[in-house]
């Protein structure tokens, strides 16, 4: 009895000690952790980890590009492990810092850093975008659909290409208007411009506008709701931003990626290398909840579930823009 107690006490003490020493950290991208989208998904994952394990984590919101490297190095030097960076823009900074701290475990979302101590997490955004494209084309009726991207980079074109593919699979002659907000990091946080872009597409006949633009997307969804059209959210579930005016959201489970990175590191199940989370792995998907139930008809639901099954089974292969920098749709 006593022995069992001692063992239990030692175990508890050890795990408490381990919990104290285990210091995870996360570095967000320019949109900030409350962008209601990409970065907020990461924040949600980290918060979930904190709620479930009681382990505190540190986070940092960068204000400009030069802080990426500083933030990663400060965390690594301060003994934080693992350090998760959100966003492809961290890639070059991480390459440098991860090489300097080979004992620290790093993870990066949306890019590949080829070092043994780095886990690179990629998503098949084109598959999720294909599904929301199917829904958009059906919800648009006789009208067209639009897409507003954030920064003009291959990753965002990948969203756009999958979306076009999905929309055209339902209506081959539908037009998909595409706009990018900008070419710098500021394009992730410019709701006024996003709103104007969405309005310009609505003026041209778009009934549904999908955004992949982080904080800029708030303006896109707002403009769509103001004009009485439908928006489509991205990354996090944004259906609740304008209930009844957001058709659905393309879920990119950055929260799961962050949660897994933290818990794998804590439970000694860490593995480096690249991992791709697609529809089959539950890494991407579309959101259905009380806010958009009334917008999704049975026919739409059936069509999107059919498309989803075909993608998982490999019967439909959604083109990945990043494979050849071209969109065949």
Residues near other proteins (CB under 8 A): 32-35, 61, 152, 177-180, 182-183, 186, 189-193, 195-197, 199-200, 203-204, 215, 218-219, 222, 226, 241
Nearer to other proteins, 136 or 300 (CB): 136
Nearer to other proteins, 138 or 151 (CB): 151
Asked if residues 78 and 60 have their Cβ atoms less than 8 Å apart, the reply is: no
List, in sequence order, the alpha helices (H) in 54-89. Answer: 67-77
Nearer to other proteins, 21 or 173 (CB): 173
Minimum CB separation from other proteins for residue 170, in Å? 22
Nearer to other proteins, 94 or 327 (CB): 327
Residues 6+ apart with CB under 8 A from 145: 133, 136, 137, 163, 167, 174, 175, 176, 177, 206, 207, 208, 209, 210
The three state secondary structure string of 250-316 is EEECHHHHHHHHHHHHHCCCCCCEEEEECCCCCCEEECCCCCCHHHCCHHHHHHHHHHHHHHHHCCC
Minimum CB separation from other proteins for residue 313, in Å? 34
Nearer to other proteins, 104 or 239 (CB): 239
Distance between CA atoms of 71 and 62, rounded to whole angstroms? 8
Minimum CB separation from other proteins for residue 76, in Å? 24
Minimum CB separation from other proteins for residue 297, in Å? 26
Distance between CA atoms of 90 and 106, rounded to whole angstroms? 11
Tokens of 159: 């969203």
Minimum CB separation from other proteins for residue 229, in Å? 14
Distance between CA atoms of 193 and 216, rounded to whole angstroms? 7
Asked if residues 247 and 206 have their Cβ atoms less than 8 Å apart, the reply is: no
Minimum CB separation from other proteins for residue 28, in Å? 9
φ, ψ at 302 (rounded to 5°): -60, -45
CA distances to 72, 92, 148, 179 from 160, in Å: 31, 25, 8, 10
Residues 6+ apart with CB under 8 A from 303: 134, 135, 138, 170
Nearer to other proteins, 117 or 222 (CB): 222
Asked if residues 107 and 59 have their Cβ atoms less than 8 Å apart, the reply is: no
Nearer to other proteins, 105 or 211 (CB): 211
Minimum CB separation from other proteins for residue 14, in Å? 36
Minimum CB separation from other proteins for residue 317, in Å? 26
* Residue indicated by tokens 């969804």: 221
Asked if residues 121 and 277 have their Cβ atoms less than 8 Å apart, the reply is: yes
Minimum CB separation from other proteins for residue 168, in Å? 17
Nearer to other proteins, 27 or 277 (CB): 27
Distance between CA atoms of 202 and 32, rounded to whole angstroms? 28
Nearer to other proteins, 89 or 189 (CB): 189
E strand or H helix at 179 = strand 176-182
């Amino acid at each position: 009895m006593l022995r069992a107690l001692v063992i239990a006490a030692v175990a508890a003490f050890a795990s408490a000690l381990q919990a104290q020493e285990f210091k995870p950290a996360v570095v967000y991208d320019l949109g900030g952790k409350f962008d209601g989208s990409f970065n907020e998904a990461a924040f949600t994952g980290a918060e979930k980890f904190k709620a479930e394990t009681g382990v505190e984590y540190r986070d940092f919101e960068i204000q400009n590009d030069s802080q990426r490297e500083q933030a990663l190095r400060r965390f690594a030097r301060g003994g934080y492990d693992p350090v998760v960076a959100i966003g492809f823009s961290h890639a070059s900074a991480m390459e440098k810092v991860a090489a300097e701290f080979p004992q620290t475990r790093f993870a990066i979302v949306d890019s590949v850093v080829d070092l043994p101590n780095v886990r690179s997490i990629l998503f098949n955004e084109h598959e999720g975008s294909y599904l929301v494209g199917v829904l958009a084309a059906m919800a648009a009726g006789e009208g067209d659909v639009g897409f507003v991207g954030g920064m003009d980079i291959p990753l965002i074109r990948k969203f756009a290409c999958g979306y076009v593919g999905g929309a055209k699979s339902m209506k081959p002659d539908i037009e998909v208007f595409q706009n990018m907000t900008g070419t710098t990091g500021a394009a992730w946080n410019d709701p006024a411009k996003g709103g104007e872009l969405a309005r310009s597409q609505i003026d041209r006949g778009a009934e549904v506008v999908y955004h992949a633009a982080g904080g800029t997307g708030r303006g896109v969804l707002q403009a769509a709701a103001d004009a009485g059209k439908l928006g489509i959210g991205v990354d996090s579930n944004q259906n609740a931003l304008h209930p009844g005016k957001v058709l659905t959201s393309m879920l990119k489970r950055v929260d799961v990626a962050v949660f897994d990175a933290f818990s794998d590191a804590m439970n000694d199940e860490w593995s480096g290398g690249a991992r791709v989370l697609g529809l089959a792995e539950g890494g991407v998907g579309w959101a259905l909840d009380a806010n958009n139930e009334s917008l999704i008809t049975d026919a739409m639901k059936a069509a999107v579930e059919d498309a989803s099954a075909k993608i998982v089974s490999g019967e439909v292969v959604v083109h990945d823009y990043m494979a050849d920098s071209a969109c065949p749709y």
